[in-house]
Structure 1
């Protein structure tokens, strides 16, 4: 990523958001935390899956002046072709992310959080690097989660993400400025009982 962005002369800082609590994975809450912890030095964010690497040099990672920009749009992504897909890599100004109050914190386990965000709204392009076996436990739907995941959360997001930073490490990886955040998320098991592994 550093090589790719530097070649395009895009100033960047990479935040690695590492969930270290005992709850199920919550990508949306982690992105909310990354946004809050990124400080005032940044004017936009790239919500970027760690297992998705750009191969096409024509992909645009520049400031999304015209509004949110989906780098990994359905016509380009190798696995997700449905029209409402906004996952993978989405660029937003910090102002736009604040306007929509970030992402819902209700999505514990893998998937659906980007569809919730999107509901308000060919050639080799990416390399998708993940092993589905790693996420098997986080893809399971628990209790009322299946019904709840299709409800739009209009209240939760930046304003109610609950977390604690266990550690913050600033470092350089092959010249890339990076910050690794080890994050302890908190879950209200009365509100979202599917945050635990049951």
Structure 2
């Protein structure tokens, strides 16, 4: 039996991803009807739709109506040789060499990517169901007033909650920020419609580092986690680089049974996962998963290494990295020069090699910051903070 997105290979019914056990009575479709549909809906392993549970609008759970992207899990202990922190150091060294090479584009920027595979068939669902591959380009100016008009259901502070269904998760999307106003405009332009189609109960938090001292991405992300919880009872946290935009809205911004790597295949790396330990760009962790690894490291000042430290934390706790398929996990990155005061961290390789020794005393339990201001803008909440100096 092959389990993908909680669906049996033969389409007979939902299966628990945690136990592999058949879950009886969760779909009102008869087995005959499902088996009949399975020849169309499940004929290709990369586009399977979960059987729809026909519920009334009053009690319908968001996300019942269509696929949220195919999940496969990379088991850390079984992927390539046994993992240790030195493996991550070697992989990061290779990645930095690749980053300096301009790889050819497979298709022109902004093209509508189509793998030629069969499209998923929606058994039922609202008009706001995910659309699939999206055109993402950065050759135009974004007017935030227009973005607001196009997203009238987004409330001040960047909050949205579905009206016709109950979201299973409360998602805080956290962006570490400085000097990237134009990138943020593109992110808001593309992501708000995507997140609403995914029927998420979500809020967008932009955590801005004050001053011109060396940038500290993870300290800002930890701050976003702490501040978001003061406002709402979030149980899922998406950490998104401001310059990373998903190209398929079936790549669901929610949390899974294992930490989720959302930005699987970036155009920067020719739409390939650069190395198996890669865990950056856009990721999601449940509150429980985040606390299990003590949040993120606070001692990475400047560019590089923090994403790999987080990977080491996940691995050390026996968790796995789940990912959508490379096709659904495609993302575009806005090309830009490295920011001022964000030079490569010369200590990053040494720190990565000692993650397991430092993670228990360096994380959310040692976070220090000072909130300077909080602004509830139309499309996001911006929190300006002083995170100190190296």
Q: How much has 1:16 moved relative to structure 2?
A: 0.3
- Out of 160, 167, 171, the position equivalent to 2:377 is 171
Are 1:110 and 1:135, in contact at CA under 8 Å, matched by a contact in 2? no
Which residue in the other structure is 2:292 paired with?
99
Are 2:301 and 2:345, in contact at CA under 8 Å, matched by a contact in 1? no
**Residues 120-167 of structure 1: CA distance to partner in whole angstroms, max 9, x if unpaired?**
325582110141x2336423334x555345431322010111110111
Q: How far apart, in 2, do the equivalents of 1:90 and 1:140 lie?
A: 22
Gaps of 5+ in 1: 188-194
Which residue in the other structure is 1:56 paired with?
248
Are 1:29 and 1:104, in contact at CA under 8 Å, matched by a contact in 2? yes
- Out of 115, 120, 125, the position equivalent to 2:330 is 125
Residue 214 of structure 2 is aligned to residue 24 of structure 1? yes
Q: How far apart, in 2, do the equivalents of 1:110 and 1:48 lie?
A: 16
Q: Secondary structure, in 3 states, of the residue corresponding to 1:12?
A: strand
Gaps of 5+ in 2: 1-190, 316-325
Q: Secondary structure, in 3 states, of the residue corresponding to 1:116?
A: helix
Q: How does 1:21-170 map to 2 (within 5 A)?
A: 21-39=211-229, 40-62=232-254, 64-73=255-264, 76-78=265-267, 79=269, 81-120=274-313, 121=315, 122-123=326-327, 125-131=330-336, 133-135=337-339, 137-142=341-346, 144=347, 147-152=350-355, 153-154=358-359, 155-170=361-376
TM-score, scaled relative to structure 2: 0.43
Q: How much has 1:100 moved relative to structure 2?
A: 1.1
Are 1:107 and 1:149, in contact at CA under 8 Å, matched by a contact in 2? no
Q: Structure 1 residues 96 and 23, CA, compared in 2 at 3 Å: closer, same or farther? A: same
Q: How far apart, in 1, do the equivalents of 2:242 and 2:234 lie?
A: 20
Q: How far apart, in 1, do the equivalents of 2:253 and 2:311 lie?
A: 19
Q: Secondary structure, in 3 states, of the residue corresponding to 1:119?
A: helix
Which residue in the other structure is 1:183 paired with?
385
Between structure 1 and structure 2, the one with the greater Rg is 2
Which residue in the other structure is 2:159 paired with?
none
Q: How far apart, in 2, do the equivalents of 1:182 and 1:127 lie?
A: 27
Number of corresponding residues: 179
Range moving further from structure 2, 103-112 or 149-158 = 149-158
Q: Secondary structure, in 3 states, of the residue corresponding to 2:300?
A: coil
Are 1:21 and 1:185, in contact at CA under 8 Å, matched by a contact in 2? no
Q: How much has 1:28 moved relative to structure 2?
A: 0.6
Q: Which has the higher contact order (CA 8 A, sep 6+)?
A: 1
Q: How far apart, in 2, do the equivalents of 1:127 and 1:65 lie?
A: 23
Give the strand-richer structure, 1 or 2: 1
Q: How does 1:2-21 map to 2 (within 5 A)?
A: 2-21=192-211
Q: How much has 1:61 moved relative to structure 2?
A: 1.6
Q: How far apart, in 2, do the equivalents of 1:33 and 1:110 lie?
A: 18
Which residue in the other structure is 1:191 paired with?
none
